[in-house]
Structure 1
Amino acid sequence: MQRILLVDDEEQILQLLEMFLEMNGYKPALAFSSQDALKQVSGSAFDLAILDVCLEDGNGFDLARKIKAEHPKLPIVFLTGLSAESDRATGLSIGNAYLVKPFQPDVLLNVIQQQISGSPA
């Protein structure tokens, strides 16, 4: 079963994403902060990370850079409320995909499948 790290400081979003991913055959691990995410990444192997950009203890872009430094091949998907083109450009320069909330669950699932399989998004 493929493992996905979910990082968001909004508990309700994490719970919904957790249920959605489990229903689609993935094993999610939840992190409510950058620090928690970094601990989990250094202690476990993941197939994909889904990060919010705005976190209480930091910036998802900075977190992604730290994760990529340790795990350069780990696909990172940003799932955020930030819709400015400059944010999207920054996210795509660091990660593999950038989705804006609210999002369509089928689109997220498609992006996850493409990133894990290595297919172009």
Structure 2
Amino acid sequence: MTRAAAVLVVDDEPDIRELLAQTLCLAGFDVSCAATGIEAMQRLGGRAPDVVVLDVLLPDLDGFEIARMMRRAGHGMPVLFLTAPGAADRCTGPAGEADACVAKPFSLEEVVLRVRALLGRTRDTDAPPPRPDAQPHRPDAQPHRPDGPSAEAPAHSPVRRSAADLHWVPW
């Protein structure tokens, strides 16, 4: 039996960190979390994760520096950066430290798919299958919003999200 792939989620926003952790756990991954760059580097001392999901803007160190420190320490696991909109090209170019980037606000499904893709490039075994009790994604499903129907923003208008906007949407 193969072990579940380990994912380290590093984000200083508790709601985003928890949402990512729950989503990745439901997808079958073994997830640990860190709120700062220093905490992330300390977690690398134990069981090294197979993939790191890393926010670019952290209070103590930026994600680019953390990725460089991980590489210098001999950790070769892939890094998925969570970036500001429009900044994705800076983290995957020739000087970038990330193996992939997802711009905030992001789709949880996209994060899971990117983590699986990164694992497919680096592991001999496949990414873990979804948990048996997990619901498959339904493209026709409407997002659940306890405060009423979901309002779609026009494509040209900027979307700002805060922790209060995060709602768990099982798929």
TM-score for the superposition, normalised by structure 2 = 0.64
In 1, the alpha carbon distance for the partners of 2:75 and 2:39 equals 19
Q: For 1:61, which of 64, 70, 86 is the aligned residue?
A: 64
| Aligned-residue offset at 1:54 | 0.5
Question: Aligned in 2, Cα 1:38/1:115: closer, same or farther, shift over 3 Å?
Answer: same
In 1, the alpha carbon distance for the partners of 2:105 and 2:85 equals 10
Question: Which range moved further: 107-116 or 87-96?
Answer: 87-96
Residue correspondence of structure 1 range 1-121 to structure 2 within 5 A: 1-80=4-83, 82-84=84-86, 87-92=87-92, 93-118=96-121
**Which structure carries more strand by proportion?**
1
Question: Which range moved further: 10-19 or 88-97?
Answer: 88-97
| Aligned-residue offset at 1:44 | 2.2
Root mean square deviation, CA, Å: 1.4
| Aligned-residue offset at 1:72 | 4.5
Moved over 6 A (4+): none
In 1, the alpha carbon distance for the partners of 2:29 and 2:49 equals 11
| Aligned-residue offset at 1:69 | 1.6
Structure 1 equivalent of residue 154 of structure 2: none
Show CA shifts across 1:46-100 (max 9, x none): 10000001101121111111112223521000012x223xx42331121100100
Name structure 2 gaps, 5 residues minimum.
Answer: 123-171
SS at match of 1:30: strand
State the identity as a percent. 28
Is residue 37–residue 60 contact of structure 2 (8 Å, CA) maintained in 1?
yes
| Aligned-residue offset at 1:107 | 1.3
Is residue 67–residue 98 contact of structure 2 (8 Å, CA) maintained in 1?
yes
In 2, the alpha carbon distance for the partners of 1:108 and 1:20 equals 9
